[in-house]
Amino acid sequence: MISRKKLIAGNWKMNKTSADALTLVGDLVASIGRQNDVEVVLCPPFTSLEAVGKAIEGSSIKLGAQNMHHEGSGAFTGEISAPMLRSLFATHVILGHSERRSYFAETDEFINKKVLAALKNQLRPILCVGETLAERESGSTLKVVQTQTERGLDGVGKDLAAGMVIAYEPVWAIGTGKVATTEQAQEVHAFIRGLLTKLFTTAVAEKVRILYGGSMKPANAPELLAQKDIDGGLIGGASLEARSFVELVTAASAAR
């Protein structure tokens, strides 16, 4: 079995001015800037990408964006393209976050265009999938996750698929303090890996990192990260403070 390097990504969402971002990233570089056994990715707001990118230069920390447009340039007021992100040395981009799906009406088809554009521009997509509470309660979790994964990955070739990151984020657990049980999370992660085997190959499925997201905190992380198919975390609230984020990276390192 291939061992996958754990990945901890911080999604700062619409938080932190550039000045606040610099304080946080300074603390993170000082404590985990030489962390090599866990891949660490920071996803600040667009306004802080450049400053954070400069602050992590020379460290092992990587830069990600929270969204992007699928076109390379043009009349798309308010949008940011993959080449723009690349010019700031971003390596990752979160796509299809449930907040984008629900507040900005992003569809699977639209998200898929972004996935393809990101890969074409050598950006590693972190494709978010996950069910709402109503969907879980009606027993359609796996169906929802399957549809979002299949549509999100439509047209992705086997050669590039292994570079994808999938984040399973049950919508009811995001920012709510409610965390999926380890059994609930592992069940869906294993299901996604099985799906990747069907869509691509076993070798590809074994390489793709599948992150858990939804109120992951230092207290619940060790148990989640110990699961066979949980390869890291996409962290919202707990990524806004150096101490909790560092503890999560430490937990991921211990779970290797």
Catalytic residue among 69, 70, 97, 189: 97
230 exposed, middle or buried (CB, 10 Å; 0-12, 13-18, 19+)?
A: buried
Nearer Cβ to ligand PEP, position 160 or 215? 215
By CB under 6 A, is residue 83 in contact with ligand PEP?
no
Nearest CA-CA partner of 56 in 71, 41, 68, 77: 41
Give ∠ CA 122-149-127 in degrees, rounded to 5: 40
Cβ-based nearer residue to ligand PEP, 141 or 215: 215
Residue 37, helix vs strand vs coil: coil
If binding is defined by CB under 6 A, does position 35 make contact with ligand PEP? no
**Count, residues near ligand PEP per rule CB under 6 A:** 13
Q: Is 174 in the site for ligand PEP (CB under 6 A)?
A: yes
Stretch that binds ligand PEP, among 84-92, 106-114, 136-144, 231-239 (CB under 6 A): 231-239
Is 92 an active-site residue? no
Identify the active-site residue in 106, 131, 169, 189. Answer: 169
Three-point CA angle 156, 76, 64, nearest 5°: 50
205 class by beta-carbon count within 10 Å (0-12 exposed, 13-18 middle, 19+ buried): buried
Is there binding between residue 165 and ligand PEP (CB under 6 A)? Answer: no
Q: Does 93 bind ligand PEP (CB under 6 A)?
A: no
Binding-site member from 6, 8, 10, 11 for ligand PEP (CB under 6 A): 11
In this structure, the number of other CB atoms found within 10 A of the CB of residue 202 comes to 13
**Which range, of 28-36, 84-92, 168-176, 184-192, touches ligand PEP by CB under 6 A?**
168-176
Please, which residues have CB within 8 angstroms of residue 4's CB and are 6 or more apart in sequence?
206, 207, 209, 231
- List the structure tokens of 204: 């590809």
Q: Which is nearer to ligand PEP, 168 or 200 (CB)?
A: 168
Beta-carbon contacts of residue 93 (< 8 Å; ≥ 6 apart): 64, 65, 66, 67, 68, 82, 85, 114, 118, 123, 124, 125, 126
145, 168 in Cβ contact below 8 A?
yes
Annotation marks residue 69 as catalytic = no
Q: Which of residues 183-222 bind ligand PEP (CB under 6 A)?
A: 213-216
Residue 126 touching ligand PEP (CB under 6 A) = no
Contact range with ligand PEP by CB under 6 A, out of 40-48, 64-72, 81-89, 167-175:
167-175
Binding site for ligand PEP (CB under 6 A): 11, 169, 174-175, 213-216, 234-238
